[in-house]
Structure 1
Amino acid sequence: MTSIKIGIIREGKTPPDRRSPFSPQQCAQLQRQYPGLKFIVQPSEIRCYKNNEFESEGILIQEDLSAAEIIFGVKEVPIEKLLYNKHFFFFSHTHKFQEYNRPLLQAAVKKQIQLTDYECLTFEDGRRILGFGRFAGLIGAYLAMKAWGAKHQTFQLPLPQECSGLENMFHQLKDNVNFGQPIKIYITGRGRVAKGIREILSLLNIAEVDAKSFAEKTFEETVFTNLDTNAYYQHQEAQPFTTSALTKNPEQFRSTFTEVAQHADIIITGHFYDSKWPKLIEQAQRTAYQRLKVLADISCDIADPIPFTLRPSTLADPFYDVDPESLEEKPAFSAGSLTVMAVDNLPGALPKDASEDFGKSIATDIIPLLLKSDEARLIDKASICKDGKLNAPFQYLQGWLNK
């Protein structure tokens, strides 16, 4: 192969994110695997890997990334750090008309950047190639357990970032979680996030039941049910459900979410939600949730599908309480109210574990496309802009971009 340099940019978003797209060992392994490949890593005092960890693996640490043709980050790159005529990979949060990042996309177009968004990278069958979803599910479910223990004073768990790693977090759960009574846990979604949630519930030996039993029966053990979009959206005229029909004609559907969810003690969300779809919980339905004690809203769509999610929370301070009737915010673990967890950067709690998992996927599924062959044009299809204009699959953003 021809010589190519890949840069790893220092994360610059506030609050700081300690994750990295690659571990030092992964960089070294890729350099051995592809002799023409060289990494340049921008030094960072916050990254979960120390600068000398990269250097000890023979990786160049250097402030200037201008020699790199391709630059990998994790979160949005600050506009002033975008380099002209480079190929950037990061989560840009622009392809869904995210208003707060429109200036970022405008700058990427102006600077002739090819911006490939991790979230848009899919295999030919439509499955996402990359994501931190599993870790969002793992940590979100862990925090749901922590919230229950704190609210009921039945057990204590450290914050996930206080654990030495994923295995230690698992041990904390197995050693400490005791609900003190049989409870019902409702989870949404079927993707990576939901799989992470289910991994935690499996670790705790919590049994799965069907939605009808969940709503109608009393159990002598803690149970959960797992529903996806087709289970809690119903066509007004009882026509068969398809996601494409819901997206195209959302006004023809209604949410049946509350029919089952109102019977839950804990709700943990891992679903995808489109703002055009009907709300999962209408304002008038919120009084039905008298039983609900903990909402771990990993999906974190603020005040839209679920009215109890008033604002994002943080890893340092992950919980707040809400009065389900007045929607007044209260201090965490207040009597008679609902505890909400709405951290929007959950994988950052275990940055090394999350980074290694993410980097493994990039090394396996993306680097060969960059360095060898991408006949299916997977990277091009995930590139929001290039050559000073929006790329073909993202032309729908043009009017919004021009505002």
Structure 2
Amino acid sequence: MTAVHLWLRHEPRPTERRTPVVPADARRLVEHGITLTVEESAQRIFPVEEYEAVGAEVAPAGSWVSAPGDAVILGLKELPDEPDELTHRHIFFGHAYKQQPGAEALLTRFARGGGALLDLEYLTDDSGRRLAAFGYWAGFLGAALAVLHHRGQLAGELTPTDEKALRAKLGSAGGDIRALVIGALGRSGRGARDALAAAGLSPTTWDLAETRDLDRDALLGHDLLVNCVLATTPVPPFVRPEDLDAPGRALRTVSDVTCDVGSPLNVLPVYDRTTEWADPVRRLRDEPPFDLIAIDNLPSLLPLEASTDFSASLLPQLLGFRTDTGPWARCLERFASASREPGIKQG
């Protein structure tokens, strides 16, 4: 077997506390003969000492730029803006294949440096099902924040918590809310339904069958909407700008778990930027109110639970890492296809 060197990088986003590999699974990688380097990171939910204790090498934060050329750089969210040329193979959620803002610039950096993006969103089995995802916890938190805001219990900057504490908060206040989950049958939808159940709510649940011929009046008749649909082909938008001014609109709170803002496939084209932990809710209309929650790293609010689940699903793919066949080969093929599109400046 070809030697594999994985380099777990520090995440530059201050609110990113998750990790794709937890220390218990790092031990499995090392025992399997994989060289694992872990960068120091004060914000990561697990201290670097726990990785060192299971045999990982430790490196300063951001030192991946000078890692050996054969190292595979492993992360979750966006890379820093430098260097201009990316020479390594990188594993992370690149959000670069659907014309999202910044996608062309990112792919150009790879083209200039000769590196490659192995996008975790496209790590799938033979049937196209994703092999590692944060969907459940994204849906759970998206619905939880929407309920807390709708009840007037979401105030100030968000901070990480744990599942037990969040469930207790959801169950601490009553009040009936007409909630709708779209994409209810997927991972994110299941998480959203569980959070709403913890809040004592029985939501309306829609999936493909209900969105093929969208009943827009019924949608706008709910108080709260949790969108868990990540469109891969064009579909009519669920909420349009003109719907915000529709007479009799009951819909007040929308949580967009998908956060596909800027993409032509966005099913909620009513906003142009995500919201943040420091200011999680954005008001788009005053009368009647229409409030949006669109945080693109929701699972980082439950960093221990989210990291543990994701790491368990990613581990088998890392243990069998190879790019000439199987899931990682499909990731590489998808990257190569995207890199040939107009606008990508080759090196």
Q: Same fold (TM over 0.5)?
A: yes
Equivalent of 2:56 in 46, 56, 59: 59
Task: Could you tell me which runs of 5 or more consecutive residues in structure 2 were left unpaired when the two chains were aligned.
Answer: none
Distance 2:105 2:270 in 1: 30
Distance 2:15 2:154 in 1: 27
Q: Partner residue of 1:358?
A: 310
Equivalent of 2:179 in 185, 195, 205: 185
Indicate if the aligned counterparts of 1:144 and 1:296 stay in contact, CA closer than 8 A.
Answer: yes
Equivalent of 2:293 in 326, 341, 344: 341
Letter paired with 1:96: K
Distance 1:156 1:106 in 2: 40
Distance 2:100 2:196 in 1: 33
Distance 2:255 2:217 in 1: 19
Distance 1:83 1:27 in 2: 29
Distance 1:83 1:108 in 2: 6
Indicate if the aligned counterparts of 1:315 and 1:349 stay in contact, CA closer than 8 A.
Answer: no
Question: After the TM superposition, which of the residue ranges 89-98 and 374-383 deviates more from structure 2?
Answer: 374-383
Distance 1:363 1:267 in 2: 34
Cα distance 1:138–1:15, how it changes in 2: closer, same or farther (>3 A)? Answer: same
Question: After the TM superposition, which of the residue ranges 47-56 and 136-145 deviates more from structure 2?
Answer: 47-56
| Distance apart, 1:338 and its partner CA | 2.3
Q: Partner residue of 2:191?
A: 196
After superposition, what is the alpha-carbon deviation per residue over 1:143-167, rounded to whole angstroms, capped at 9, x for unaligned?
Answer: 01111210xxxx678976342x122
Cα distance 1:123–1:103, how it changes in 2: closer, same or farther (>3 A)? Answer: same
Q: Partner residue of 2:268?
A: 306
Q: Partner residue of 1:270?
A: 228
* 2:118 paired with 1:116: yes
Q: Partner residue of 1:135?
A: 137
Aligned residue for 1:89, secondary structure, equals strand
Letter paired with 2:249: Q
Q: Partner residue of 1:367?
A: 318
| Distance apart, 1:168 and its partner CA | 2.2
Equivalent of 1:381 in 304, 318, 330: 330
| Distance apart, 1:257 and its partner CA | 4.0
Cα distance 1:398–1:292, how it changes in 2: closer, same or farther (>3 A)? Answer: closer
Distance 1:376 1:353 in 2: 31
Letter paired with 1:344: D
Of structures 1 and 2, the one scoring higher in RCO (CA 8 A, sep 6+) is 2
Distance 1:86 1:125 in 2: 28
Aligned residue for 1:292, secondary structure, equals coil
Aligned residue for 1:77, secondary structure, equals coil
* 2:252 paired with 1:293: yes
Indicate if the aligned counterparts of 2:158 and 2:280 stay in contact, CA closer than 8 A.
Answer: no
Q: Partner residue of 2:30?
A: 31
Task: Could you tell me which runs of 5 or more consecutive residues in structure 1 were left unpaired when the two chains were aligned.
Answer: 207-222, 235-255, 324-329
Indicate if the aligned counterparts of 1:24 and 1:59 stay in contact, CA closer than 8 A.
Answer: no
Indicate if the aligned counterparts of 2:38 and 2:58 stay in contact, CA closer than 8 A.
Answer: yes
Indicate if the aligned counterparts of 1:160 and 1:169 stay in contact, CA closer than 8 A.
Answer: no
Cα distance 1:320–1:79, how it changes in 2: closer, same or farther (>3 A)? Answer: closer
| Distance apart, 1:130 and its partner CA | 1.7
Distance 1:37 1:82 in 2: 29
Give the greater-gyration-radius structure (CA).
1
| Distance apart, 1:355 and its partner CA | 1.6
| Distance apart, 1:85 and its partner CA | 4.7
Cα distance 1:289–1:343, how it changes in 2: closer, same or farther (>3 A)? Answer: farther
**Mapping of 1:1-400 within 5 angstroms?**
1=1, 3-12=3-12, 14=13, 16-32=15-31, 34=32, 36-63=33-60, 64-65=63-64, 66-67=67-68, 69-80=71-82, 85-150=87-152, 161-163=159-161, 165-174=162-171, 176-179=172-175, 182-189=176-183, 190-206=185-201, 223-234=202-213, 256-273=214-231, 276-286=234-244, 287-288=246-247, 290-302=249-261, 305-306=267-268, 308-309=270-271, 311-323=273-285, 336-364=288-316, 366-370=317-321, 377-383=326-332, 391=336, 393-394=337-338, 397-400=340-343
Indicate if the aligned counterparts of 2:87 and 2:110 stay in contact, CA closer than 8 A.
Answer: no
Cα distance 1:289–1:347, how it changes in 2: closer, same or farther (>3 A)? Answer: farther
Report the number of matched residues. Answer: 336
Aligned residue for 1:279, secondary structure, equals coil
Aligned residue for 2:165, secondary structure, equals helix
| Distance apart, 1:288 and its partner CA | 4.2
Q: Partner residue of 1:250?
A: none
Indicate if the aligned counterparts of 1:267 and 1:296 stay in contact, CA closer than 8 A.
Answer: yes
Letter paired with 2:91: F
Indicate if the aligned counterparts of 1:122 and 1:129 stay in contact, CA closer than 8 A.
Answer: yes
Aligned residue for 1:400, secondary structure, equals coil
Q: Percent identity?
A: 23
Letter paired with 1:49: F
| Distance apart, 1:117 and its partner CA | 0.3
For the aligned residue pairs, the C-alpha RMSD in angstroms reads 2.9
Letter paired with 2:343: W
Cα distance 1:128–1:262, how it changes in 2: closer, same or farther (>3 A)? Answer: same
